[in-house]
Amino acid sequence: MDLEHIQSIDSQQMWDHLTGFPEQWKEAIESTEELDLTIDQERIDNICFAGMGGSAMGADLLRAYSYRTCPCPTQVIRHYEIPHWVDENTLFIGCSFSGNTEETLTALEAARNKGAQAIAVTSGGEMMLKAAKEEFDYIKIPSGMPPRAALGYSFVPLYRIFQHLDFIDEGNTGLKETATLLTEQNDLLADPEDNEALNLAEELNDTLPIFYSDATMMEPVNLRWRSQFAENAKTLAYGNTLPEMNHNEIVGWERIVHLTGRLSVVMLMDKEDNPRVQRRMEIVEELVEDQTASLHVLKTRGQTRLTRVFSLIQLADWTSFYLAVLNNIDPTPIAKIDLLKSKLAEA
C-alpha cells in the first residue's frame, strides 16, 4: 500500500482529517483556554448530555473519563426524549456538530421547557440560533468535516466545561500529554507501508470483529471502534463489556461451529481496569482464542487517563481507515445514513 493508491480511493480526504488530528487537538485546546460560562454551578445537581452519532462521542468519552471524579450523576442520551428527572437543577449540554440534528434539538427544547440550564456545543445551525435567541451558553466549533473526524473539536470543549466545574483531576496536564502522544503516534500510523493499524486491519479483514473491554472508562472506546468500523470501513462490528458478558454472552461461544474462522476478538485494556475485570479478560481470552480467526490484546499507552483513552481512539480511527482502503472502499461517504435522512424528510 502506498499514498498514491490511498488517494485514488479516498476521494473526500479522510486521510487528511486523520493526519491533521493532532493539530486539531492543539487548536481546540488553544481556542477554549479562556472559556467564559454563565451557568450557576450551585444549581447543578445532575448533568445530561444529548447528541447522536459522532456528535455524542465526546460526551460518552467525558462521562466515562470522569467516572471516578465527577460528583454529579451524568447521563448521555441519544434520543428525542429526555429523562423525567431533568429539571431546573440539571445542566443540559446539547452536542450537535451541524447544529441541525433533529433528535438533539428536540431534546434540548424539552430540557429548556423544564427550566434546565443549557450549553450548546455546535458549529452553527438551528442550535446556535436557539442559544443566541434564548441567551444561554454556547461553544462554537469549526465545521467542514464529518462529525466523526472532528472529535478533538467536539471533545475538548466538553473537557473544558468539566475543568471549569472542577469535576476532573488531570486538567491541562492531560490535554498536553495527549497532544504529544497523538503527534508521535500519528507519525507511525501514517506510514502506509507498515504500521500497527494497517497490520491489524489486515488481520481483521473478512471477519466479524468483536470488541471486549471494561465497562467503565473503556466502554466508549469500545463503541468508537465499532462506530468507526461501521462508518469508515462499511463493515459490521460487535462489542460487549465486562464483567456483564461473563454472566451471559460467554456461554454463547459454545455453539459457533458455523462461524469458525469468521470471528476476530479485540481486547481493549487499560492498566486501571478493575483488577478483577483484568483477570476476567485473561480468562475470556483463554476460553475463546481457539474459536477465533485472530485474537488481539490492545493496551492503552500514556500516563494520564486522558492520554490512554485517546491512544486507542486514534488507533481505531486509523485501523478502520486502512480496512476501508484494503477493500477499495472510500471511507468518507455514508450513503445509507443519507438515504435514511432523505426518507425521514419525506414523512
Give me the active site residues, please.
231, 247, 341
Q: How far is CA 65 from the centre of its chain?
A: 12
Which is nearest to 149 in space by CA: 300, 335, 325, 331? 331
Q: Hey, what's the cell of 301?
A: 499507552
Neighbours of 7 (CB within 10 A): 12
From the number of C-beta atoms within 10 Å of its C-beta (0-12, 13-18, 19+), residue 318 rates as buried
Amino acid at 206: D
Cβ neighbours for 326, distance < 8 A, ≥ 6 positions apart: 1, 201, 202, 205
Torsion of CA 196, 298, 231, 58, to 10 degrees: -120
Q: Hey, what's the cell of 38?
A: 454563565
* Sheet containing strand 238-242, strands side by side: 238-242, 208-214, 263-269, 294-299
The residues that bridge with 119 in the sheet, in sequence order, are 93, 137
Report the alpha-carbon distance of residue 14 to residue 338 in Å, rounded: 18
Report the alpha-carbon distance of residue 347 to residue 241 in Å, rounded: 37
Long-range pairs for 99-106: beta carbons < 8 A, 24 or more residues apart? 99/123, 99/124, 99/125, 99/126, 99/127, 99/128, 99/129, 100/125, 100/126, 100/127, 101/51, 101/52, 101/55, 101/127, 103/50, 103/52, 103/78, 103/79, 104/50, 104/51, 104/52, 104/55, 105/130, 106/80
